[in-house]
Structure 1
Amino acid sequence: MKLFVGIDVSSEDLKVCAMNIVGDTLDSFTVTNNHDGASRLRDKLLSLADKEKSKEIHVGLESTSVYSWHPAMFLHEDNSLQKRGTKVFTINPKLISKFREAYPDLDKTDYIDAWIIADRLRFGRLPMTVVLQEQYIALQRLTRMRFHLVHNLTREKQYFLQHLFFKCSAFTSEVESDVFGHAITELLLEQYSLDEIGSMELADLADYLKEKGKNRFPNPEKVAKCIQKAARSSYRLSKCVEDTIDILLATSIESIRTIKQQIKQIDQAIARLLDGIPNTLETIPGIGRVYCAGILAEIGDIHRFKDQAAVAKYAGLTWRKHQSGKFEAEDTKRIKSGNRFLRYYLVEAANSVKRHDPEFQNYYQKKFAEVPKHQHKRALVLTARKLVRLVDVLLRNDQIYTPRRKVNTEKQ
């Protein structure tokens, strides 16, 4: 006999519905979403399990940001619940939403949501149980924060380029040097007008770039000449607008530098934590510590997954089949669900691995040449799918990647 418990989570409380194997509601109640409330929930579940003589307790919660994490971990780690064979599932809200469509006449309330979750548990065929080990959880917080910072950096750079076009419309077309390099940003922070830049002595501007760039420019005179050409051929702004744009550029530059420093600190913390997690993914050429950490943090224990296909589905690197009778569509779409963090790190890792490993490079080029549109995006995602097979084999077998020997990446 099993006891099925659905929990609708909010920041303040937990709405709970307990159900038996035939779908009868045994109890509905509310507890606060804190340690005391979770303790009360545990006691009530134990009491219900004794009353119903349940040998297993299945608990389901929607994955609602950070609010479901604490109660899920509490219920998973509690010794008295573990003795009752308790399994905790965090379920994708989309799965619950689709399941709700089978009950079109039901109202939308928190208790009914908990009932829907409990009923979905009763039907079975659920994804893996919740929980990652502590070191994976800590690593996951770091890698997800890095994901957030990288996207913020990209957005801030886009703002910077917009403001730069106002300031010097010909800059990006005339100057081949890195716009976000230290020397260029220092020059923009000086808030020179275009006329001042255009009238500077070429040698003085070259020396400035050489000093600020720490002698990293191979030809500072050429770069200085391009900057002056861009300044002279750009549109002119009124003094009022130009002063405003200078302030915005300076703000963007400081934001970009701050985010880069934060990413550097996160990378250092990731490296320290990764030292305590044995893995063989770092033996793949080009994968690097950050991408390795991002993949490990989302996968956790590889044995949570049945095979490499389950890992790919979890990452959202699976394509739906469209078949009817003898017809089978060749053009199919990738599923929209999946762990976006794992997908991001797998795709980024694949982009790096293909530059270092001939097998992945050849595969990428083959897929690139197969279609006339979206070649890079399609080929890179397919290369990431190929990487999933390799990741699964290395982690599952604790195997070191040795290209000469070749590992078996066939479906298991």
Structure 2
Amino acid sequence: MELRINQMNFIDQTISQTFPGIKKLIPHASGDFSKDKLLDFLEIWWHKNLVLEKPEEKFIEDFKNWAKEKRYHPNADKAKSIYKLAEESISTQPSNSSYIKNSIQEGIELIKHINQILHTILSQMMEIAEPLEEYQEAKKFSGISDKLAVQITAEFGDLSKFKNKKSLISFVGIDSPPYESGNFKADQKKITKRGNAILRKVGYQAMKCMMSSKDPENEIYLYMVKKEKDRKAKKICKFAGLNKFLRIYYAKVMASKQEKNLLKAA
């Protein structure tokens, strides 16, 4: 992942000079690393001048044929927007530089190879996690994808090792610090951040996904919306939602484990 991020940053920095604004029109990567529309596009049109080499009608036709071949939606309006961007944007690097072209092409090839490896690893992780209650219960929350669910499962491990919900929340590091005297004020309390930093990032991402899914039947989503209506900062709302999620998640997983043990005993 670190190598992938470094290469992605290099590509992003380079195309901001060769084709400014293209990232806003074409999404970067799919969630399972199996495809990356922007990288596929840049393999052919890595510089804005390559788009303008042909009339707009011809580029639209080429774009649609490319999209069909790569199994993307052949959107003519998207092609028009790209052509318009190419006309209006100003590049700071030449399109006839073989060095820049080769650097981009080699970077894209490396990222795609890394993506294939990550996709394989993720698939294996899901296969291993499939029988685990931690994975199955995480997937049931709207907005949490299989990929996110397996990340949560991998970081937490067996929830049976936590004696209660509070110890789980402390492990993540989003519990409140102990009361201290002196100049302490109640409205100054923040999360401790003593726990697992990776889990906090994964949990925060899960809350963002829940907010994006906007499921009216998801009580965690409704809870975060209520907090926002109370004019709480968005970050605070999401960590409050994460706290609620962990309590519910722990209860559901432990209930599922207990039910499974009872079935085994029977």
TM-score (norm 2): 0.76
Is the deviation greater in 376-385 or in 278-287? 278-287
From 147, 159, 171, give the equivalent of 2:22: 171
Residue 251 of structure 1 pairs with residue 106 of structure 2 = yes
For 2:243 and 2:10, how far apart are their aligned partners in 1? 33
SS at match of 2:154: helix
For 1:161, the equivalent position in structure 2 comes to 12
For 2:62, the equivalent position in structure 1 comes to 208
For 1:188, the equivalent position in structure 2 comes to 42
From 178, 189, 197, give the equivalent of 1:340: 197
From 296, 304, 314, give the equivalent of 2:153: 296
For 1:170 and 1:212, how far apart are their aligned partners in 2? 20
1:58-104 CA deviation, whole Å, 9 max, x = no partner? xxxxxxxxxxxxxxxxxxxxxxxxxxxxxxxxxxxxxxxxxxxxxxx
Cα contact 1:350–1:384 (8 A) shared by 2: yes
Q: Which amino acid aligns with 1:352?
A: C
1:143-201 CA deviation, whole Å, 9 max, x = no partner? xxxxxx2x6544443332211111123434xx623256856534432366543421312
Shift of 1:273: 0.7
For 1:183 and 1:367, how far apart are their aligned partners in 2? 36
Cα contact 2:122–2:147 (8 A) shared by 1: yes
Cα contact 2:133–2:256 (8 A) shared by 1: no
SS at match of 1:213: helix
1:303-326 CA deviation, whole Å, 9 max, x = no partner? 322211110111112222454389
Matches for 1:29-48 after TM superposition, within 5 Å: none
Equivalent residues, number: 246
Q: Which amino acid aligns with 2:73?
A: F
For 1:219, the equivalent position in structure 2 comes to 75
For 2:238 and 2:208, how far apart are their aligned partners in 1? 7
Matches for 1:14-163 after TM superposition, within 5 Å: 149=1, 152-163=3-14
Gaps of 5+ in 1: 1-148, 401-412
For 2:112 and 2:124, how far apart are their aligned partners in 1? 19
Shift of 1:388: 0.7
Cα contact 1:183–1:209 (8 A) shared by 2: no
SS at match of 2:187: coil
Q: Which amino acid aligns with 1:213?
A: A
Name the Cα RMSD after superposition.
3.2
For 2:128, the equivalent position in structure 1 comes to 273
More strand by share: 1
Cα contact 1:322–1:328 (8 A) shared by 2: no
For 1:308 and 1:350, how far apart are their aligned partners in 2? 18
1:371-392 CA deviation, whole Å, 9 max, x = no partner? 47xx333222221111110111
Residue 393 of structure 1 pairs with residue 255 of structure 2 = no
For 1:317, the equivalent position in structure 2 comes to 174
For 1:96, the equivalent position in structure 2 comes to none
Cα contact 2:159–2:253 (8 A) shared by 1: yes
Gaps of 5+ in 2: 30-34, 259-266
Shift of 1:231: 2.4
For 1:254 and 1:165, how far apart are their aligned partners in 2? 19
Q: Percent identity?
A: 19
More helix by share: 2
From 370, 375, 379, give the equivalent of 2:237: 379
The runs of at least 4 consecutive aligned structure 1 residues that moved more than 6 Å come to none
Q: Which amino acid aligns with 1:315?
A: V
For 1:165 and 1:380, how far apart are their aligned partners in 2? 32
Q: Which amino acid aligns with 1:320?
A: P
